[in-house]
Amino acid sequence: MRPRPRRPPSGFSLAEVLVSVALLGLLLGGMAQVFQAGLGSWGRVNRSLTARRGLRWALDRLGEDLRLAGHRFPPPEPDGRPEPGGAIRLLRERPIRTQDGGALAPRDGWGATADELSFTLDEPVPVRAVLVRAVPGPEVRLRSGQGARILPGDLLVVEDDPVETARVAREAHLAPGAEARVPVDGGAGFRFPHAPGRRVQVVRPRQVVRYAVAGLRLGLGPPEPVPCLVRFTAPAPPGGGDPPWDGVLARLWGLEGRWEVVAERVSGFRAEGFPGGLFRIWVETYEPGPGGTLRRDSPRHALALVAASRNPEGS
Looking at residue 212, its pLDDT comes to: 93
Looking at residue 162, its pLDDT comes to: 77
Residue 184 DSSP class: B
Looking at residue 80, its pLDDT comes to: 45
- Cis check: omega of the bond before 162, within 30 degrees of 0: yes
At 88, give phi and psi (nearest 5°).
-85, 125
Domains plus CATH for the chain? 46-122+205-308 (no CATH), 124-203 (2.40.30.10)
Asked if residue 101 lies in contact with residue 124, where contact means CB atoms within 8 angstroms, the answer is no
Looking at residue 298, its pLDDT comes to: 65
Q: How far is residue 63's CA from residue 262's CA, in Å, rounded to a whole number?
A: 12
Full pLDDT tens readout for the chain, 315 residues: 566 666 666 666 778 778 888 888 888 888 888 877 777 677 666 777 778 888 899 999 998 888 888 777 766 555 545 455 457 888 899 888 888 778 887 776 677 899 999 888 888 888 888 888 766 778 888 988 888 888 888 888 888 877 788 889 889 988 888 888 888 887 666 777 788 888 888 888 888 899 999 888 877 666 778 889 999 988 888 766 778 887 777 777 777 678 999 998 888 899 988 877 788 899 998 877 665 565 555 667 888 888 876 654 433
| Apex 166 CA angle, 162 and 171, nearest 5 | 155
Cβ within 8 Å of residue 147, ≥6 positions away: 173, 174, 175, 176
Looking at residue 296, its pLDDT comes to: 56
**Residue type present at position 300:** R
Cβ within 8 Å of residue 38, ≥6 positions away: none
Q: Is 257 left (phi over 0), alpha (psi -120 to 50) or beta?
A: left
Burial 157-172 (b: 16+ CB within 10 A, else e): bbebeeebbbbbbeeb
With 0.75 as the threshold, say if the pTM is over it: no
Give, in order, the Cα–Cα distances in Å from 109 to each of 121, 132, 137, 297, 310.
33, 54, 58, 12, 35
Asked if residue 132 lies in contact with residue 143, where contact means CB atoms within 8 angstroms, the answer is yes
Beta bridge partners of 150: 172
Which H helix or E strand runs over 156? strand 155-158
Q: How far is residue 246's CA from residue 265's CA, in Å, rounded to a whole number?
A: 23
